[in-house]
Amino acid sequence: MPGPFATAILDHSRDERTAPLIQRDGEHAREHPIEDFYFGTASPDQDRTAFLLEHLEGPLVDLGSGAGRDPLFFQQRFETVAVEVDAALVDVMRDRGVEQAVVGDMFDLTANFEPDRFASALSFGTQVGLAKSMAGLRAFFADLAVVTTDDATAVVDSYDPTHPEASELLGYRDDEAEGLASRVMHFEYDGAVGETLLFRLFSPDRLATAAADAGWRVTTVRRAGGEHYEAVLEKD
């Protein structure tokens, strides 16, 4: 059965949303902006989309695709495979017109895809934080290296814990290790409470270190403001 996050996305896609989707850490809570994050339309004149177009090509694997906003855009330009761990979200993407949407774990890509399958990869939504540790992040990049070509590119995003505004993030937890922190939260929707999620926050330097251990090199770090950043990687 889908959790509260997937259920909220499903209801929103059917115009049946009955309550706000809430992100909560103890007494601290905020409404999640579902419409802006998952149901907006990507277009080439948007700064973010133009940036991605510079660094991505097909075949593309989109990891943690949500409701399919990015796959709907990119599949018009080249082959795009959307991956989600929740079958309910895959159903939402298919209903919305995503041509290749599959159930899969972004942290176990070799279980679903053959070597050298993709020319580029996108993971947008700070899902790489679910790797939970530097070792987990290295393992993710190593797995990604197997299913991508020798000249592949990737774009991932995270929150930089060294930024002064990072501590204001909901669920923020400081860490003694330089360039690392955590976020702890859960989702609530229409009376249902989801499991507690742990996201690790990696600074660009820490992310680059983990990537380098798996044969990737960070070539560009883009900041659109605040603690959020996007990193472009190439095979080293």
The model's pTM: 0.94
Report the percentage of the chain scoring pLDDT > 90: 89
Work out the pLDDT band at 1, boundaries 50, 70, 90. low
pLDDT tens for residues 91-106?
A: 999 999 999 999 999 9
End-to-end CA distance of the chain: 41
More confident residue, 224 or 68: 68
Average pLDDT along the chain: 95
Query: What local confidence, expressed as pLDDT, does residue 36 receive?
Result: 85
Task: Classify 20 as helix, strand or coil.
Answer: coil
Mean of pLDDT values over 142-159: 98
The answer to whether 194 and 1 have CB atoms below 8 angstroms apart is no
Query: What local confidence, expressed as pLDDT, does residue 210 receive?
Result: 97
Parse the chain into domains and list their residue ranges.
4-235
Burial-class residue 191 by CB neighbours within 10 Å (0-12, 13-18, 19+). exposed
Query: What local confidence, expressed as pLDDT, does residue 229 receive?
Result: 97
Right CATH number for 4-235 from 3.60.20.10, 3.40.50.150, 1.10.443.10, 3.30.70.940? 3.40.50.150
Residue 178 CA from chain centroid, whole number: 23
pLDDT tens for residues 42-78?
A: 888 889 999 999 999 999 999 999 999 999 999 999 9
Lookup: tokens for 186: 């859960």
Total Cβ atoms within 10 A of residue 192: 15
Mean of pLDDT values over 167-196: 96
Beta bridge partners of 23: 30, 187
User: Does the pLDDT at position 80 exceed 70?
Assistant: yes
Work out the pLDDT band at 170, boundaries 50, 70, 90. very high
Query: What local confidence, expressed as pLDDT, does residue 37 receive?
Result: 85
What are the C-alpha distances in Å from 183 to residues 62, 123, 130, 151, 159? 23, 18, 10, 33, 10
Task: Write down the number of H helices and E strands in the chain.
Answer: 7, 13
Largest CA distance in the chain: 48
Mean of pLDDT values over 160-174: 96
